[in-house]
């Protein structure tokens, strides 16, 4: 439970922004930043660095783009040792201009990709590494990957300067034995690299699967306040901090942020364990179908949704 090398990353704004197209107010983001800074969290992920040509600004909030100046504006005047990260979907982004790391408020660039697009992630990682950023690679939807394809991607990553590679359970489909298997597979093919885990909560296993990753020496751990994230959400940050016995962490600011910032949001936005997301999890499917179903008049007809999903797999 205590290991000095463990780092905790909060993805409340980034993953939570997938629910509301990143339309968080500056004051909300500022309050989350202050709370996480006081809690001793290692990294806060502010959102995506996306291309405005592909994601029109009239449809998305500022945290879809995470401009350096916008981040500076929000954190101005707050004392904090916490590092800042942003995520880039390497497979669907136009050329991005990054300032050198020592001229940016951002410390870490996280390249998100699928195994078949690993070249795009490596290109981004090389570019950001040369500019002085910490880097990660998050290969998404590994529960859907054919193992030889995944291994080929890992072998390519092993040759690049990426700092951390994440085991990502995008569909919340994996169980603890599979997390163990994946972490060990990554270790075998990524000698000398640090590993992380990012788990989704379709089957209420995000927390336990994160612990499983810790047991097998994954040292970068993702969570979000009250588990906010698209669909079923993520590992709850409060559970994770409560589990880790590192005296640097302070749970009180996290609970206060949930009380003051997250709970009012639940009146307008739905996330967390709900049966349609459980169904997509056990069927190893993207939650988009459940998200769409929850917007219909039949949103609580769980058996009907289950049978429809099974039919699509036949």
pLDDT tens track for 210-220 = 999 999 999 99
Identify the pLDDT of residue 35. 98
CA distance readout (Å), 144 to 141, 169, 186, 283, 306 = 6, 10, 16, 11, 20
Tokens for 48?
Answer: 């995506």
Percent of the residues in the chain that have a pLDDT greater than 70, as a whole number: 100
- Over residues 126-150, the pLDDT tens digits come to 999 999 999 999 999 999 999 999 9
pLDDT band for position 81 (50/70/90)?
very high
pLDDT band for position 1 (50/70/90)?
low
10 Å Cβ neighbour count for 296? 10
Mean pLDDT (whole number) for 165-190: 98
pLDDT band for position 97 (50/70/90)?
confident
Q: Compute φ and ψ for 234, nearest 5 degrees.
A: -120, -175
Domain edges within the chain: 7-265, 275-313
3-class SS letters over the chain: CCCCCCEEEECHHHHHHHHHCCCCCHHHHHHHHHHHHHHCCCEEEEEECCCCCCCCCCCCCHHHCCCHHHHHHHHCCCCCCCEEEEEEEHHHCCCCCCCCHHHCCCCEEEEEECHHHHHHHHHHHHHHHHCCCEEEEEECCHHHCCHHHHHHHHHHHCCCCCCEEEEEECCCCCCHHHHHHHHHHHHHHCCCCEEEEEEECCCCCHHHHHHHHHHCCCCEEEEEHHHCCCCCCECEHHHHHHHCCCCCCCHHHHHHHHHHHHHHHCCCCCCCCCHHHHHHHHCCCCCHHHHHHCCCCCCCCHHHHHHHHHHHHC
* Location of structure tokens 């336990």: 208
Q: How far is CA 171 from the centre of its chain?
A: 12
7-265 is a CATH 3.20.20.70 domain: yes
Q: What is the dihedral of CA 282, 153, 193, 137, to 10 degrees?
A: -70
Mean pLDDT (whole number) for 170-175: 98
Mean pLDDT (whole number) for 220-234: 97
Identify the pLDDT of residue 314. 77
pLDDT band for position 262 (50/70/90)?
very high
Sign of torsion over alpha carbons 113, 114, 115, 117: negative
Identify the pLDDT of residue 52. 94
Identify the pLDDT of residue 145. 97
10 Å Cβ neighbour count for 218? 26
Name the pTM for this structure: 0.96
pLDDT at 152 over 90: yes
Mean pLDDT (whole number) for 58-81: 98
**Cα separation of 35 and 40, whole Å?**
9
Of the candidates 82, 91, 92, the one whose C-alpha atom is nearest the C-alpha of residue 12 is: 82
pLDDT band for position 198 (50/70/90)?
very high
């Amino acid at each position: 439970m205590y290991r000095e090398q463990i780092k905790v990353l909060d993805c409340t704004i980034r993953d939570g922004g997938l629910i509301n197209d990143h339309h968080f107010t500056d004051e909300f983001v500022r309050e989350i930043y202050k709370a996480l800074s006081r809690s001793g969290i290692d990294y806060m992920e502010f959102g995506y660095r996306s291309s405005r040509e592909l994601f029109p600004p009239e449809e998305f909030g500022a945290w879809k783009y995470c401009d350096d100046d916008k981040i500076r504006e929000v954190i101005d005047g707050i004392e904090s040792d916490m590092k800042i990260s942003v995520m880039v979907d390497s497979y669907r982004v136009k050329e991005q201009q990054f300032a050198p790391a020592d001229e940016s408020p951002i410390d870490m660039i996280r390249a998100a990709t699928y195994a078949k697009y690993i070249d795009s992630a490596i290109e981004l990682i090389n570019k950001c590494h040369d500019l002085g950023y910490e880097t990660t690679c998050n290969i998404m939807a590994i529960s859907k990957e054919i193992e030889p394809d995944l291994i080929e991607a890992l072998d390519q990553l092993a040759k690049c300067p990426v700092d951390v590679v994440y085991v990502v359970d995008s569909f919340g489909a994996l169980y603890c034995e599979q997390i163990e298997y994946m972490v060990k597979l990554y270790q075998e093919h990524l000698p000398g690299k640090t590993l992380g885990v990012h788990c989704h909560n379709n089957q209420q296993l995000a927390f336990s699967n994160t612990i499983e990753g810790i047991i097998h020496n994954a040292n970068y751990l993702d969570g979000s306040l009250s588990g906010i994230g698209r669909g079923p959400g993520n590992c709850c940050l409060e559970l994770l901090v409560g589990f880790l016995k590192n005296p640097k962490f302070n749970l009180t600011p996290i609970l206060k942020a949930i009380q003051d910032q997250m709970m009012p949001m639940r009146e307008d936005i739905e996330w967390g364990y709900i049966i349609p997301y459980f169904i997509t999890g056990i069927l190893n499917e993207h939650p988009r179908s459940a998200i769409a179903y929850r917007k219909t008049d039949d949103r609580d007809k769980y058996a009907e949704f289950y049978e429809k999903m099974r039919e699509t797999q036949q």
